[in-house]
Amino acid sequence: MEVATDYLVLGSGIAGLSFALKAAQHGTVAVVTKKERAESSTNYAQGGIAAVLSPDDSFELHVEDTLKAGAGLCHRDAVELVVKEGPRMVRELIEWGVEFTRREGKLALSREGGHSRDRIVHVSDLTGREIERALLERVKEHGNIEVYENHIAIDLITEHHVFGVKGVPKGHITCWGAYVLNTQTGLVKKFLAKVVLLATGGSGRTYLHTTNPRIATGDGIAMVFRAGGKVGNLEFMQFHPTALYRPDANPDEPAFLISEAVRGYGGVLVNRKGEPFMEKYHHMGSLAPRDAVARAIDQEMKRSGEPCVYLDVTHKDPEETKARFPNIYARCLEAGIDITEEPIPVVPAAHYMCGGVATDLWGRTSIRNLYAVGEAALTGVHGANRLASNSLLEALVFSDRAFRDSLPRAQEPEKFPDVPDWSEENVFNAEEWVLLSHDRDEIRRLMWDYVGIVRSNYRLQRALRRIRLIAKEVEEFYRRTKVTMDLIELRNLVQVAELIVRCALARKESRGLHYTTDYPELDPRWQRDTILQKKP
Ligand code: FAD
Ligand code: SIN
């Protein structure tokens, strides 16, 4: 079965939907999304969107804060264009119906780690849910957009599928669409498009403890790498310092986030005795950039042998706390913690992938017709450590740029090659879920234990050997088994885990989120992106 369209959008988070809404003014759009349409990291975003919106703030300050957090690896041109577009992007969201929190009629602005000014627009502590709601409502109204829920992209369609291995060109590869599995019928369809937008989100699920929902298995990065495109900076997995600690946590469920806005509001990180400790590690104290806070917590936990540290807001007005953070208050109360009366137990958890599919300033990847935006992309904005609340902004800006750049291409006459149907000859139905779940759990634990906040060559090498073994088994299994969502995700997860370790081994210094006991900090010789591409 075949679907032909002007634009194929893979993913229905902020990056995919904001692009789809603009593209639909000019052509037909198919949005393919692997679960129900709202399920995305976007839907769980709490803190908000960073943008320069107050008279005591400036583009220069936002740019400087972003560059400082990024530890010398941000691309200044990418940062500048994202920051300058901030106010326009916020206005656009308001036009689409997002109801941001206001104080005395004006947009309320909060502060988060690494920011020198209050500049985060938000919708109490449920910003992402409101954005996703508004975008999906606008999408529903649009006759040109068809959303395919419970459809997972398996692989990008390139010369490899059309002309075979020998037909893959030496220079630029071209993407004509994707093979997509309908997870409810088990049928694989061909989606063909003049422009393909990869907006598949992050890869936090490669780690045992993560704030990310189940969809975040790095599918886009794995698909592009397999197709021969460039990916990079995957060593920079950001650990959010404050996920709610539960001794009986089920790692299949995302760790509940305690927003950085809680620290911006005055929350203080303390140890079990109630003593603040961040000043020992960073002059910005509890509001230092995330890499510094996560490392400090890791060190405090190792030193004390305690399983967590605490975030204390008990000195703040209880009614104000409840009004500002209704969701966090309610979720903690469900867990038996009244945050107005006792400190919140917190631990770091994998949160955001700063690397991804390498793009230029228009979201173009190294594969023709293929754009990558949002958390799946490496645009140069985040460098070695993303500044809080810069990712929703980056997703909006680059989706807008990708839309503008791809418009002429989408208006050309349709010219697709003869793409073969998906073939599953010589495969069997295997009821081997136990093998898959075992492999998945092993990868996630390996990554947590050996490729975490503090790294060493010894641990990284050990991780790589084991991951490669699992990767070989998974690939053999994949070749002889009917595809399922679990199998596709496992294949991607192990691929991305291997790429993260390879990037980490390639970087022979400590920088930002990549901290290793084997190399010194900020060696100028390594002030460059780590780019990986499969050998032809
Ligand atoms: P997502 O929103 O994750 O969407 C990805 C989409 O791709 C999903 O629809 C998914 O189903 C689909 N998909 C994935 N693989 C496939 C496939 N193979 N086939 C088909 N569909 C696929 N950032 C901020 O700036 N501010 C915040 O306050 C903030 N808070 C956060 C809180 C939490 C708990 C989390 C987890 C993240 C937070 N972030 C925040 C980060 C931010 O939410 C994400 O980086 C951003 O939402 C990513 O948007 P996206 O559109 O790129 O991806
Ligand atoms: C948070 O609310 O702490 C998340 C913000 C982000 O990830 O940018």
- The atom number, within ligand 2, closest to the CA of 352 reads 7
Boundaries of domain holding 311: 243-349
Cβ 155 vs Cβ 181: under 8 Å: no
* Residue 533 is assigned to a structural domain of this protein: no
> Any idea what the CATH number is for the domain that residue 88 is in?
3.50.50.60
- The reply to whether 465 and 390 lie within a common domain is no
Q: How far apart are CA 532 and CA 358, in angstroms?
A: 9
Cα 190 to ligand 1 centre (Å)? 25
**Ligand 1 proximity of 203 Cβ (cutoff 6 Å):** no
Arithmetic mean of pLDDT, 87-91: 98
pLDDT digits (tens, 9 = 90+) for 173-183: 999 999 999 99
- Tell whether 118 and 217 lie within a shared domain: yes
For residues 336 and 370, membership in a common domain is answered with: no
Weakest-pLDDT range from 52-66, 188-202, 286-300, 461-475: 286-300
Mutate which of 46, 101, 130 for ligand 2? The one with the most ligand atoms within 8 Å of its CB, which is 46
Q: Does a structural domain hold residue 153?
A: yes
What is residue 80's predicted lDDT score, i.e. its pLDDT? Answer: 98
Phi (first) and psi of residue 179, to 5 degrees: -85, 135
Of the ligands numbered here, which is closest to the C-alpha atom of 290? 2
Nearest CA to ligand 1 atom 28: 47
Q: What is the pTM of this model?
A: 0.97
Based on the domain organization, do 13 and 60 belong to the same domain?
yes
- Together in a domain, 280 and 383: no
Say yes or no: 172 and 157 in one domain.
Answer: yes
251 lies in the same domain as 206: no
Q: What amino acid positions are annotated as catalytic residues?
A: 290
Residue 391, in any domain of the structure: yes
Determine, yes or no, domain membership for 366: yes
Q: Is residue 322 part of a domain?
A: yes
Angle, alpha carbons 193-397-87 (nearest 5°): 145
| All residues at 6 or more sequence positions from 152 whose CB lies less than 8 Å from its CB, including other chains | 32, 34, 180, 181, 183, 219, 485, 488, 489
Tell me how far the alpha carbon of residue 97 is from its chain's centroid.
Answer: 24
pLDDT tens-digit readout, 259-290 = 999 999 999 999 999 999 999 999 999 999 88
Same domain? 345 vs 358: no
Distance 203 CA to ligand 1 centre (A): 9
Residue 112 Cα: closest atom of ligand 2: 3
Examine residue 79 and state whether it is found in any structural domain, yes or no. yes
Task: Identify the CATH number of the domain in which residue 251 sits.
Answer: 3.90.700.10
Q: What confidence category does residue 431 fall into, taking pLDDT thresholds of 50, 70 and 90?
A: low
Confidence category of residue 69, pLDDT binned at 50, 70, 90: very high
How many domains does the chain divide into?
Answer: 3
User: Residue 71 Cα, ligand 1 centroid: separation in angstroms?
Assistant: 24
Please tell me the predicted confidence (pLDDT) of residue 535.
83
Q: Are residues 89 and 211 in the same domain?
A: yes
Dihedral over alpha carbons 361, 363, 365, 368 (to 10 degrees): -110
Which of 445, 452, 75, 462 is closest to 235 using CA atoms?
452
Same domain, residue pair 126 and 216: yes
CA 56 – ligand 1 centroid, Å: 31
